[in-house]
Amino acid sequence: MIDKIASLQEKLPFDQQFELFWMEYPRRKGKGAARKAFSNALNKQDLQYILEAAHNFAIETRQQDPKFIPHPATWLNQERYDDEPDEPIDQPLDVFKKTLLERSGFDPVDAGAGNSDLEKGGIGTSRIRLVGGGKAGE
């Protein structure tokens, strides 16, 4: 499963990597600043690490008043993806990874066969929903 997630960074265009992060992060404010901070963060950590940290942060803050959750650019710029969780995360990571693969539309079986959506011009863009209900790339 880890190899499948790691291959997303190699195969997905940056905009789709960012959309996966944007969907996972618990507060969606300042998208332009978040996109720039996400690009900088990918120079320090890999996609899987950042997505897992955002997932864990979303679980950790699910009962918190949103006004106390930092904007995604702040979270990324402060390298909060390296923070230790306040409490153990009760959702198995494999569930997150399976969901992430489904959201991306990435089929690792097809990718190895040379018939992947990636080679056809994009990965499951219809499955990646933006806040406005549009599709990635629009």
The per-residue pLDDT for 54 is 96
Stretches where the chain sits below pLDDT 50 are 1, 109, 111-138
Q: Is residue 137, in this structure, part of any structural domain at all?
A: no
The per-residue pLDDT for 47 is 94
The per-residue pLDDT for 102 is 74
The per-residue pLDDT for 126 is 32
Q: Is residue 31, in this structure, part of any structural domain at all?
A: yes
Q: Is residue 133, in this structure, part of any structural domain at all?
A: no
Q: Is the CB of residue 10 less than 8 Å from the CB of residue 48?
A: no
Q: Is residue 132, in this structure, part of any structural domain at all?
A: no
The per-residue pLDDT for 131 is 38
Q: Is residue 136, in this structure, part of any structural domain at all?
A: no
**How many distinct structural domains can be found in the chain?**
1
Token pair in block for residue 127 = 């499955």
Q: What DSSP letter does each residue of 85-132 carry, written as one string? A: PSS---S-HHHHHHHHHHHHT--HHHHHHT--TGGGTSS-GGGSB-TT
Q: Is the CB of residue 124 less than 8 Å from the CB of residue 106?
A: yes
Say which DSSP state 103 is in: H
Q: Is residue 134, in this structure, part of any structural domain at all?
A: no
Provide the domain limits for residue 97.
Answer: 2-127
The per-residue pLDDT for 128 is 34
**Each residue's pLDDT tens digit, 6-29:** 667 778 899 999 999 999 999 999
The per-residue pLDDT for 17 is 94
- CA distance linking residue 31 with residue 47, whole number of Å: 18
Q: Is residue 67, in this structure, part of any structural domain at all?
A: yes
The per-residue pLDDT for 25 is 97
Q: Is the CB of residue 11 less than 8 Å from the CB of residue 111?
A: yes
Q: Is residue 79, in this structure, part of any structural domain at all?
A: yes
